[in-house]
Structure 1
Amino acid sequence: MEDILRNQIEKIVKLTDEEFQFVLSHFSTKTFRKHQYVLQAGNPAPNDHFVVKGLLKSFYLDETGKTHILQFAMEDWWISDPQAYHNALTATLNIDCLEDTQVYIISLDNREKLCAESRKMEYFFRKKTQAGYIALQKRIQSLMTLSAKERYDQFIQLYPQLSQRLPKSLIASYLGISRETLSRMSDH
C-alpha cells in the first residue's frame, strides 16, 4: 500500500526513506465497502482521499433528485469535496464507493502541517492542485463545446481502463447524456 502512495509522490518529487516515513505519518488508512459513502452532502469534509484500491464517484443530487457525477477516482487518484475540504465547510458533494475501496486519508490540518515542514510536499500538493484545475477546465470546456459523441470518444481515449470498470449508466451521467444516447453511440 505504501508503495502506491510513494510512487504517486515521486512522480513529482523524490523522497528519502526518512522523508517518506515523515510524510506517511501525516496520513491514515481506511477501508470502505462497495456502496458505502466516504462523504455525504451536509456533513463536514475534513479529509482528502488517495485511492490505493477501488473505484469511487463524487456526485450531487439536484432539486429534482437527478444525479450529476463530477468525478470518478480509481487507484492512484485523489478525491474529495475541494470546496468543503479547503474551506472547512459542509460538503455539497457525495462520494461513494463503486467497489470495495482502500484509501489513504489526510486531514487539512495534517496537510498544512506537512506542507509547512516539507517544501517538497508543499510543491507536490501545489502541482497536484494545478493539475486538478487544468483537468476541471478541460472537462468544463468539453461539456460546453463538444457533442455527446465527441465527449464519449474523449472519455474512452482518456480513461480506457475506467470505461471498462463502469456501467454505461454512470458514464452517461458523467457525460451529461442519457443512457439510451450512450448505448446508441457505443454500439456503433
Structure 2
Amino acid sequence: MKSLHAYLNRYVSALISEKDFEMIAGHFTPRKLKRRHYLLQEGQIADYFAFIVKGSMRKYYLDDKGKEHVINLYIENWWAGDRESFTLLTPTQYNIQACEDCEMLIITKENKEKLCRQSVIFNEFVVRLDEKYSIASQKRIASSISSSAKARYDDFAACYPEFLQRFPQHLIASYLGITKDTLSRVRRQSL
C-alpha cells in the first residue's frame, strides 16, 4: 500500500494524510496474478482497474487474422485495465495478461465512484490521471501516424527505458507497430 500512497501523492495538490489514505486504501483489494494468467479477457466487462505493485503486464487484441497487437505495456506503479469497458460497462475487445508474476491493488468501478464522491483529493487524482492518459494517447496516435520506426523507437527508449529490460523484443515491436526485424535494425542504428 505504501507504493500506492506515494503514487497518489505525486498527482495531488496537497499530500494525503495517513488517516485519509487509510480510508482510500480500504476501497482497494490486494490480488496476485501468476505469469501468463489474465487480468481481463476479450468479452469480459472490466468493472475494475488494477494498480500494479509488482510485476508487468501487456494489453493486446487479436485481429481478424489472429495477429496480436500490443496496445499497452505496464509495470510497477502503472494502472492496468480497459477504460472503455470500465466506463461504459461494455465487453472488452482486449486481453490483459501478466508477463511476470504480479501483485496488484484492485479497485472496482463502484468503489472508484464512491471514493470520488467521498474524497475531494481522490477525485482530483482521478482527473489528473485522466488528463495524463489523454495526453499520452494523443502523442502515441500522432507518433504512429507520422513518425518513422526509428523515431518511434527512440521516443519509446527515452520515455520508458526500463521497458527495454522488462519486455521481450517481439512485444516492444508490436507495441511500436513494427516488425521484429525492423526493431532490430532501428536498435542497431540507435547504438
Query: Which TM-score applies when normalising by structure 1?
Result: 0.97
List aligned pairs for 1:1-188, cutoff 5 A.
2-13=1-12, 14-188=15-189
SS in 2 for 1:187: helix
Structure 1 residues 90-141: Cα deviation after superposition (integer angstroms, max 9, x where no partner):
1111100010011111011000000001111000011001100110000001
Q: Distance between the aligned counterparts of 2:38 and 2:18, measured in 1?
A: 34
Q: Which amino acid in the other structure matches residue 47 of structure 2?
A: P
The one-letter amino acid of 1:7's match is A
Measured after TM superposition, the shift of residue 36 of structure 1 is: 0.6
How far, CA to CA, are the matches of 1:144 and 1:33 in structure 2? 35
CA distance in 1, matches of 2:9, 2:19: 14
Aligned residue for 2:16, secondary structure, equals coil
Query: Secondary structure of 1:114's match?
Result: helix
Tell me the number of residue pairs that the alignment of Structure 1 and Structure 2 aligns.
187
TM-superposition CA deviations, 1:39-74 (whole Å, max 9, x none)? 001012111111100000111111111111111110
Q: Over the residues paired in the alignment, what is the CA RMSD in angstroms?
A: 0.8
Deviation of the 1:89 alpha carbon: 1.0
Shift of 1:165: 1.1
Measure, in 2, the Cα distance between the counterparts of 1:78 and 1:101.
12
Structure 2 unaligned regions, length at least 5: none
Matched residue of 2:36: which SS? coil
Q: Distance in 1 between matches of 2:45 and 2:113?
A: 18
Q: Which runs of 5+ in 1 are unaligned?
A: none
Letter of the 1:186 partner, please give it. Answer: R
CA distance in 2, matches of 1:46, 1:70: 19
SS in 2 for 1:171: helix
- Deviation of 1:187 (Å): 2.4
2:66 aligned counterpart, secondary structure:
coil
* TM-score (normalizing by structure 2): 0.96
Identity %: 36
Find the aligned partners of 2:104 and 2:157 in 1 and give their Cα distance. Answer: 25
